[in-house]
Each structure stands twice: as structure tokens, then as C-alpha cells.
């Protein structure tokens, strides 16, 4: 087994993981309001995080952690996380589903990644997420 | 150093009390002074201080990698 596996290809799955502090996100919400998160979350994602009493900070943290974890599986350098192109929605069953679009979809395709699966967990002060890419045989991306 | 860059530097130092200064050529990303979460807030700050709208999708990493680069990209460029 090579010490430094190739970043993509059948047989390899580069995991991504992230942790987000509730304290940090709560400060952002307090300082800037809900509108700030429109730069990071789609309207659908924000709706998923909303409860009858407003935005649920733990849910926000979980979404943010999931996006970062998913981005880490792409193994790209010198690129910022394309926040709105990695969409994490709640499925009917309650588990998170990742949808790649725009720049994120192209970055994934370049590594042979067609989909990303993610799991989120949270407790009082932190949310964590782990992501794994689904890598398929390259068939050549259509432009 | 421009007033705008002073505000940017103060913003970073406030969030990293272990540092009392930031060298102009220090890599802010490699040294984790800006991460993915703070990046969004940082862009928000840059917009407010520079008075320019910033497209996060097209922003080059190297344009905010150091204080020198930030000064060159967002502040000095306005004078010319």
C-alpha cells in the first residue's frame, strides 16, 4: 500500500471530517443575523434548520460541518469551499443528503467522484460531520 | 499600511489573541488565521472596509493569502 495514495480512482475513498463550534456560529448569528448564513446555506438548507422558535444553531453547525467535510473529500488545493454548490438537505428519512452542483460538481468530477455521502452528529457545544465520496470508473466528463 | 488594512489586521488579531502582530507576508491560511467558517465573515469584513462587492465564487485564494496581498488587491488597487 503506498504511503501517499492517489487522490482518486477505484478503491480509494478520501474521507472528509469537520467539527464546528456552536459558540462560533452563535456569535455569527448574534452579530450579523440570519442573512449572513445566506452566503453559506441555500434557502432550502436554511429551511431545514428552522424550528418554530427560529433557526436552530446546532442544525446550522451540522450543515456547515457537513459541507466542509464533503469539500475535504474533493482534495482540491487553493480553492475556497464553494458553500452554495455543496447542498446538504434533510431526506424524508431524516438523514442528510449531499447534492453537488456548479463548481463543486466539476471539482468532484475531476476526481471521479459522482456523489458524496455524509453523516452528522452533534452535542451541546459542537457538531461534527464525516463524509465519504462515491468514486466511479472515469467515463470522461462531458463539458 | 492603509486604514483599511489596519482594520483587517485588527480583526484578525482580535480573533487570535495569541498573536500580537501579523507579518505582512504571513500566510493567513496555512497558519489557520482564516478558515472556511471565518472566511465568509472575512469576506463580509473586506466588503465593508473596502466598499467593494466580492464574489466568493471567483475570489482567488492568493488574493487574501497575506496582508500584503489583501492590501494590493482590495485597497491599493482603488487608488490607481
Cβ contacts (< 8 Å) between B40 and chain A: which residues?
36, 39-40, 83
The answer to whether A34 is annotated as binding is no
Confidence of residue B56 (pLDDT cuts 50, 70, 90): confident
Best B11, B29, B37, B58 member to test A by mutation, with max A CBs in 10 Å, is B37
- Tell me, what's the ipTM? 0.81
Nearest CA to CA, how far is A79 from chain B (Å)? 6
| Cell 488594512, residue located | B5
Best A29, A65, A80, A81 member to test B by mutation, with max B CBs in 10 Å, is A80
Helix A102-110 vs helix A57-74: crossing angle, to nearest 10: 40
- Domains of chain A in start order, with CATH, are 16-135 (3.90.470.20)
**Distance separating alpha carbons of residues B54 and B58, to the nearest angstrom:** 8
**In this structure, which CATH number among 3.30.70.1350, 3.60.110.10, 3.90.170.10, 1.10.1200.10 belongs to the domain B3-79?**
1.10.1200.10
Best B14, B16, B34, B36 member to test A by mutation, with max A CBs in 10 Å, is B36
Contact A121, A127 (CB under 8 A): yes
Cβ contacts (< 8 Å) between B44 and chain A: which residues?
32, 36, 39
Mean residue pLDDT of chain B comes to 89
The answer to whether A48 is annotated as binding is no
pLDDT confidence of residue A139: 54
| Cell 470522461, residue located | A140
Q: Looking at chain B, which residue has its C-alpha nearest residue A25?
A: B37
Angle made by CA atoms A9, A77, A118, in degrees to the nearest 5: 60
Helix (H, G, I), strand (E, B) or coil at A113: strand
C-alpha cell at A106: 466539476
Nearest by CB to B56, from A36, A64, A80: name it: A80
The per-residue pLDDT string of chain A (143 residues; one tens digit each, 9 = 90 and over) reads 444 445 555 667 789 999 999 999 999 999 999 999 999 999 999 999 999 998 999 999 999 999 999 999 999 888 889 999 999 999 999 999 999 999 999 999 988 899 999 999 999 999 999 999 998 765 554 44
**B18-26, long-range: CB within 8 Å, 24+ apart, which pairs?**
B22/B67, B23/B67, B24/B66, B24/B67, B24/B68, B24/B71, B25/B66, B25/B67, B25/B68, B26/B66, B26/B67
Nearest by CB to A80, from B39, B41, B44: name it: B39
Kindly determine whether residue B61 and residue A79, on different chains, have CB atoms separated by under 8 Å.
Answer: yes
Amino acid at each position: 500500500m503506498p504511503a501517499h495514495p492517489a487522490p482518486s480512482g477505484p478503491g480509494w475513498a478520501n474521507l472528509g471530517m469537520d467539527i464546528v463550534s456552536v459558540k462560533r456560529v452563535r456569535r455569527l448569528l448574534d452579530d450579523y443575523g440570519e442573512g449572513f448564513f445566506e452566503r453559506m446555506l441555500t434557502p432550502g438548507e436554511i429551511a431545514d434548520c428552522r424550528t418554530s422558535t427560529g433557526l436552530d444553531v446546532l442544525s446550522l453547525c451540522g450543515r456547515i460541518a457537513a459541507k466542509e467535510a464533503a469539500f475535504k473529500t474533493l482534495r482540491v488545493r487553493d480553492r475556497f469551499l464553494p458553500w452554495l454548490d455543496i447542498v446538504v438537505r434533510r431526506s424524508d428519512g431524516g438523514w442528510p443528503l449531499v447534492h453537488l452542483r456548479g463548481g463543486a460538481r466539476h471539482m468532484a468530477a475531476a476526481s471521479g467522484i459522482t456523489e458524496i455521502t455524509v453523516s452528522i452528529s452533534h452535542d451541546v457545544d459542537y457538531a461534527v460531520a464525516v463524509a465519504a465520496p462515491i468514486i466511479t470508473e472515469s467515463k470522461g466528463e462531458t463539458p | 499600511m492603509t486604514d483599511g488594512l489596519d482594520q483587517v489586521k485588527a480583526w484578525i488579531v482580535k480573533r487570535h489573541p495569541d498573536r500580537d502582530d501579523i507579518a505582512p507576508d504571513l500566510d493567513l491560511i496555512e497558519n489557520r488565521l482564516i478558515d472556511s467558517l471565518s472566511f465568509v465573515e472575512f469576506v463580509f469584513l473586506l466588503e465593508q472596509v473596502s466598499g467593494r462587492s466580492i464574489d466568493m465564487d471567483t475570489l482567488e485564494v492568493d488574493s487574501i493569502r497575506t496582508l500584503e496581498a489583501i492590501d494590493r488587491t482590495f485597497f491599493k488597487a482603488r487608488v490607481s
